[in-house]
Chains A and B, each alone.
Chain A
């Protein structure tokens, strides 16, 4: 089946919802699609009208959702873009079906994911991402009575620690790798601005729970039989063992660049390069939200609105939002500097530490390779089912390898697709 729309928006997080609502309300035929069964993206994952209050800026979700509902936008939930076979055409898949969509304007709002860095023991059950632990608890995992260490880097650490504590977990400590000096300008600016309210709230809640928050600290290794039982943390230069049931560890966020890359959008310093109207280097393709720089919820909403107005040809309206966007970009830049990764983290993996979890390829095997080409030749690193989404960011940081080239399918979901992939892989490895 082939569908046709004026505007296709990929990703129904804040950026995509705002873009789709604005464009559709102005009379365009718009399709908003997301791989998730629910609207909201990362920050509003699992949100509903009744639960909105427990989410950051939940009220904004309710208002934007109402605008979206009233706009006449078509919403395809449970569909993901797997390929862009030719200009102005996408291939999308649900669990049971595959379709093609023609578009005039494409707005990508595919968001970000956590960055993972390998350290000894990070493959043990009970070791999760920071956002990972949050997502698991939001989707029903019982945190009550769990002793949890939260570590890594980024503003998410605080928010998630507070959330887990509220869900009944005992937080054994929050360990941020960044130095206090590195973070100070960010914290000061954040406290003065809107997102600061969130940080402030999280800090306050943590204090009331008596949770220590330490800079200059990171997990060196995790240990345990069958699951994580304790972690060794370097705290301001001293090493200490902490017993725990879960380790939530992630190193800030990286944009999901697979689709922009596949479409040929120019990428600069890890983000899609866009102009004041959110347009990428590829005609007809705009990018918004985390794709253009990790800046959070408000930046995503704002950029979505700009791209929506740009798609309907109302440049004046789009440009009227420019000054707020400039402030959000400055905030994003400060955040990037605040959570820049320290070099010590490169020395965490030992020879036998697994870097590629899909294929169990070790640090020793990979450190000997020049880059992705050689790594793929000697091992199956990056060719497993995560397609380099986890090991890619790690290899970039550990070995300085460039990005893995995006090749379709960007995201295999259908069993048939996966089975076919496994099949080819099996044949290739024989």
Chain B
């Protein structure tokens, strides 16, 4: 029993070190051509907001940014690496990614 608990604690500690290492890693991408650097694990929607760019333009031309952060409102849909209509809040940034407002 005790050894099982020790093993569980060790696993949790190892995972936390891994997560910290991951978060320390930087990812480079472009948003509307602007180079942006974010921590690993950052969503595309967060990166676009930090770049100060709108995620999309509405049918009457209003600039829009993420609203719900959870995949429901579709305000964060963008063109990612040429693929249209990706929900930025459900997508993690990756090195070399090209993100475009839609």
With a CB–CB cut-off of 8 A, which chain A residues contact B87? Answer: 413
Pair A139/B42 contact, Cβ less than 8 Å: yes
Pair B69/A129 contact, Cβ less than 8 Å: yes
User: Of the candidates B19, B41, B42, B74, which one forms a contact with A358 in the assembled complex, judged by CB atoms under 8 Å apart?
Assistant: B74
Bitwise, B52-64 to A at CB < 8 A (1) or not (0) is 0010001110111
Q: For the complex, what is the distance from the CA of A129 to the CA of B65, rounded to whole Å? A: 11
Pair A385/B74 contact, Cβ less than 8 Å: yes
Q: For the complex, what is the distance from the CA of A135 to the CA of B8, rounded to whole Å? A: 28
Pair B70/A135 contact, Cβ less than 8 Å: yes
Pair A135/B15 contact, Cβ less than 8 Å: no
Q: Which of B1-37 contact A (CB under 8 A)?
A: 8, 11-13, 15-20
User: Of the candidates B12, B13, B38, which one forms a contact with A140 in the assembled complex, judged by CB atoms under 8 Å apart?
Assistant: B38
Pair B77/A134 contact, Cβ less than 8 Å: no
Pair A131/B71 contact, Cβ less than 8 Å: no
- Known A-B contacts A125-B65, A140-B38, A419-B85; A62 and B58 likewise in contact (beta carbons under 8 Å): no
Pair B64/A139 contact, Cβ less than 8 Å: no
Q: Which of A347-368 contact B (CB under 8 A)?
A: 354, 357-360
Interface residues of B, CB < 8 Å — how many?
48
| Among A132, A139, A141: residue with most chain B CB under 10 A | A139
User: Of the candidates A66, A123, A135, A136, which one forms a contact with B64 in the assembled complex, judged by CB atoms under 8 Å apart?
Assistant: A123
Pair B60/A50 contact, Cβ less than 8 Å: no
- What is the distance, in angstroms, from B56's C-beta to the closest C-beta of chain A? 10
Q: For the complex, what is the distance from the CA of A127 to the CA of B19, rounded to whole Å? A: 30
User: Of the candidates B12, B45, B77, which one forms a contact with A139 in the assembled complex, judged by CB atoms under 8 Å apart?
Assistant: B45
Pair B60/A360 contact, Cβ less than 8 Å: yes
Pair B58/A357 contact, Cβ less than 8 Å: yes
Pair B8/A128 contact, Cβ less than 8 Å: no
Q: For the complex, what is the distance from the CA of A390 to the CA of B77, rounded to whole Å? A: 15
Pair B11/A129 contact, Cβ less than 8 Å: no
State the majority secondary structure of interface residues on A.
loop
- What is the distance, in angstroms, from A360's C-beta to the closest C-beta of chain B? 5
User: Of the candidates B67, B83, B92, which one forms a contact with A415 in the assembled complex, judged by CB atoms under 8 Å apart?
Assistant: B83
User: Of the candidates A51, A132, A385, which one forms a contact with B70 in the assembled complex, judged by CB atoms under 8 Å apart?
Assistant: A132
- What is the distance, in angstroms, from A34's C-beta to the closest C-beta of chain B? 11
Q: Nearest B residue to A113 by beta-carbon distance?
A: B72
With a CB–CB cut-off of 8 A, which chain A residues contact B12? Answer: 49-50, 52, 62
User: Of the candidates B13, B45, B58, B89, which one forms a contact with A123 in the assembled complex, judged by CB atoms under 8 Å apart?
Assistant: B58
* Contact of A229 with B by CB under 8 A: no
With a CB–CB cut-off of 8 A, which chain B residues contact A125? Answer: 49, 54, 63-65
Pair B18/A360 contact, Cβ less than 8 Å: no
| Among A125, A135, A142, A390: residue with most chain B CB under 10 A | A125
Pair B16/A136 contact, Cβ less than 8 Å: no
- Known A-B contacts A49-B16, A123-B58, A136-B46; A415 and B85 likewise in contact (beta carbons under 8 Å): yes
Pair B60/A140 contact, Cβ less than 8 Å: no
User: Of the candidates A132, A226, A358, which one forms a contact with B68 in the assembled complex, judged by CB atoms under 8 Å apart?
Assistant: A132
* Contact of A48 with B by CB under 8 A: yes
Closest 6 pairs (CB-CB, A-B)? A50-B16, A140-B42, A135-B69, A125-B65, A139-B43, A141-B46
User: Can you add 16 more A-B contacts, CB < 8 Å, to A139-B42, A139-B45, A390-B72?
Assistant: A42-B70, A48-B16, A49-B11, A49-B15, A49-B16, A50-B12, A125-B54, A125-B65, A126-B65, A129-B69, A135-B70, A136-B69, A360-B59, A385-B77, A390-B68, A415-B83
Would you give 15 A-B contacts (Cβ < 8 Å), ordered by A? A42-B70, A48-B15, A48-B19, A49-B12, A50-B18, A116-B67, A116-B73, A139-B41, A139-B45, A139-B46, A140-B42, A141-B46, A141-B50, A385-B74, A415-B85
Q: Residues of B at under 8 Å CB distance from A?
A: 8, 11-13, 15-20, 38-39, 41-43, 45-47, 49-50, 54, 58-60, 62-75, 77, 83-87, 89-90, 92-93
